[in-house]
Amino acid sequence: MAEPDAPRPVERKFPVRAMGDVLIVRKRAQELAIQFGLGGRRATELAIAVSELATNIVKYGIQGEVVVILDSEAGARGGIRVVARDEGPPIRNLEVALQDGCDDTGPIDPTLVLRRGGLGTGLGAVLRFADLFEYQQGETGKAITVTFFR
Amino acid sequence: MPKKTPQDGPEGVEFTRNRLEVLIQALAYAAIDDFDYCMSLMRGDAEGDSFARLEMEFTDFLGKLVGAKTALNEALVRAEESNRELEAKLETIERQQAAIRELSTPIIEVWAGVLCLPVVGIVDSQRSAEMTETLLETIVAKQARTAIVDITGIEAMDTKTADHFIKMAKAVRLLGADCILSGINPSIAQTLTHIGVDLTGIRTLRNLRDALQFFLREQAASHLVKLQPLVESAQA
């Protein structure tokens, strides 16, 4: 008997243009993660990562989207991939941008933290929470893909 | 009665003139948008002559005009309706956005000089920065002596965000107020100890109720201290 076809990954796309969209996408991502079988804490961590990525789209991307993919084939027990894609300029220096208290040019002046509305720890948090972190950039924009295994 | 035609002498001319006058009158009413009256004027018996053809053409044209006008009116009503709907939706969105902004950092003055910041939902780096700013500003504005930050509703937090919360508590002390952290759950407790943050001078209590009780006891104690010298001086 032939192997039954693997279920196709479920894909949900969320456009991200304003802070209101960030609230929607992180809430939906959290709900999807819980439905998919992630624990409450892990689902909250995923929601925080989604929130950081989507906030960066609003801050630095011209326009973008967050795609949440529920893939039962990922890893040993399945996983959730989150792709944050935007048409903004590429990250100038990813290694620096991933450091806490930095944007992609270097450390953020503490007196500017409030005016910037951020601590510069967003990407660091994403990196800490996610099991896999990938960055791609092309002519039309950039994408960060993170995976949370079940 | 024989059919009258425009060629039928003075009587016929008179008849045609009447019809012409009716036509002109109808046109006048059509011009001021009174199509109903206009149509009622034109509802004469069709005559078989060439003038009747003009009348028929006119009636036909009038019918088309009425149809077009009705369609236009309907479209206008629809456009107005959808415009109203859009405006209502926009208003809802604006209201919701305001609510969301409010909800993200609701600071409640639970007692004179006591602020409570209940934190619920998802806390990311941006929100923790916003919270710090709002809390510090409110402490100054309301001249608060105590701030209770309740994080019962928080399931997980990034280590850097947790670190920032502790920094926020320290900043509150710099302003001359006390900061009580309440409702820390096991995973966040682990996060905090994991990053080895210095917790001296930061009071943490199990829940909001304990935090409020603690404040009331402190308040009562300080009142006793204040009353004591008065009592002593009265006895002296």
A63-72, A87-96, B8-17, B188-197 — most confident range:
A63-72
B70 touching A (Cβ < 8 Å): no
**Total CB pairs under 8 A between chain A and B:** 67
With cut-offs at 50, 70 and 90, classify the pLDDT of residue B77.
very high
Q: How far is A129 from chain B (nearest CA, A)?
A: 8
Q: What is residue A102's predicted lDDT score, i.e. its pLDDT?
A: 87
Residues B61 and B136 in one domain: no
* Same domain flag for B118 and B66: no
**Is pLDDT of B197 > 90?**
no
Which residues in chain B have Cβ-Cβ distances shorter than 8 Å to A27?
A: 122
CB of B21 within 8 Å of a chain A CB? The answer is no
Nearest C-alpha neighbor of B49 from the set B1, B7, B10, B112: B7
CATH of the domain at A82: 3.30.565.10
Q: Rg for chain B (alpha carbons), in Å? A: 42
* pLDDT tier at B152, thresholds 50, 70, 90: confident
Q: What is the pLDDT of residues A47-106, one digit of tens each?
A: 999 999 999 998 888 889 999 999 988 888 899 999 999 998 889 888 888 888 888 888
**pLDDT tens profile A100-138:** 888 888 888 777 666 666 788 889 999 999 999 999 998
B158 at interface of A, judged by CB pairs closer than 8 A? yes
* Last-in-domain residue among B70, B104, B138: B104
Q: Which of these three, B44, B70, B104, is where a domain ends? A: B104
User: Which is it for strands B146-153 and B178-182: parallel, antiparallel or unpaired?
Assistant: parallel
Look at residue B129 and tell me whether its pLDDT is greater than 90: no
Q: Is residue A100 situated within a structural domain?
A: no
Q: Is residue A96 part of a domain?
A: no
pLDDT band at B47 (very low <50, low <70, confident <90, very high): low
pLDDT digits (tens, 9 = 90+) for B51-75: 788 888 888 888 888 899 899 999 9
CA distance B83 to chain A (A): 23
Statement to judge: residues B116 and B81 lie in one domain: no
- The residue among A21, A30, A34, A44 with the most chain B CBs within 10 A of its CB, best to mutate, is A44
Q: Are B164 and B144 in contact (CB under 8 A)?
A: no
pLDDT at A117: 62
| Residue B111: burial class (beta carbons within 10 Å; 0-12, 13-18, 19+) | middle
Long-range contacts of the stretch B60-63 (C-beta < 8 A, 24+): B62/B26, B62/B30, B62/B35, B62/B38
Of chain B, the percentage scoring pLDDT greater than 70 comes to: 83
Total number of domains in chain B: 2
CA distance B90 to B96: 10
- B83 to chain A, any CB pair closer than 8 A? The answer is no
B94 in the same domain as B115: no
Judge whether residue A140 has pLDDT over 70. yes
pLDDT of residue B2: 52
B213 at the A interface (CB within 8 A)? Answer: no
In a domain, A78, yes or no: yes
Domain count, chain A: 1
**The domain containing residue B167 runs over which residues?**
108-235
Decide: B166 and B189 in contact? Cβ < 8 Å. Answer: no
**Which of A25, A48, A127 should we substitute to test contact with B (largest number of B Cβ atoms within 10 Å)?**
A48
Mean pLDDT (chain B, rounded): 82
Same domain, B204 and B173: yes
pLDDT at B5 over 70: no
Indicate whether A21 belongs to any domain: yes
Last residue of a domain, one of B59, B83, B104: B104
What phi and psi, each to the nearest 5 degrees, are found at residue A72? -70, -15
pLDDT at B231: 55
- Looking up residue B131, the CATH number of its domain turns out to be 3.30.750.24
* In a shared domain, residues B130 and B220: yes
Q: Do B122 and A113 touch (CB under 8 A)?
A: no
**Chain A touched by B92 (CB under 8 Å):** no
Is residue A115 a part of any domain in this protein?
no
Instruction: Tell me the C-alpha distance between B176 and B159, whole Å.
Output: 26
Nearest Cα of chain A lies from the Cα of B127 at a distance, in angstroms, of 8
Task: Note the pLDDT of residue B84.
Answer: 93
- B124 touches A: beta carbon within 8 Å: yes
Q: Is residue A95 part of a domain?
A: no
Burial (CB < 10 A; 0-12, 13-18, 19+), residue A63, is middle
Is A122 in Cβ contact with B161 (below 8 Å)?
no
In a domain, A138, yes or no: yes
Percent over 70 (pLDDT), chain A: 92
Domain hosting A28: range is: 10-88+120-149
Find chain A residues with C-beta within 8 A of B155's C-beta.
40-41, 44
Among the listed residues A36, A128, A96, A103, the one whose alpha carbon sits nearest the alpha carbon of residue B126: A103
Q: What is the pLDDT of residue A144?
A: 95
- The answer to whether the Cβ–Cβ distance between A40 and B155 falls below 8 Å is yes
- Please report whether residue A108 resides in a domain: no
Q: What per-residue confidence (pLDDT) applies to B44?
A: 61
Look at residue B155 and tell me whether its pLDDT is greater than 80.
yes
Which residue out of A103, A119, A128 would a mutagenesis test of the B interface target, given it has the greatest number of B Cβ atoms within 10 Å?
A119
Chain B residues within an 8 Å CB radius of A121: 125, 158, 160-161, 164
Q: Are residues B90 and B117 in the same domain?
A: no
Taking contacts as CB-CB distances below 8 angstroms, the residues of chain B near A125 are 124-125, 158, 160-161
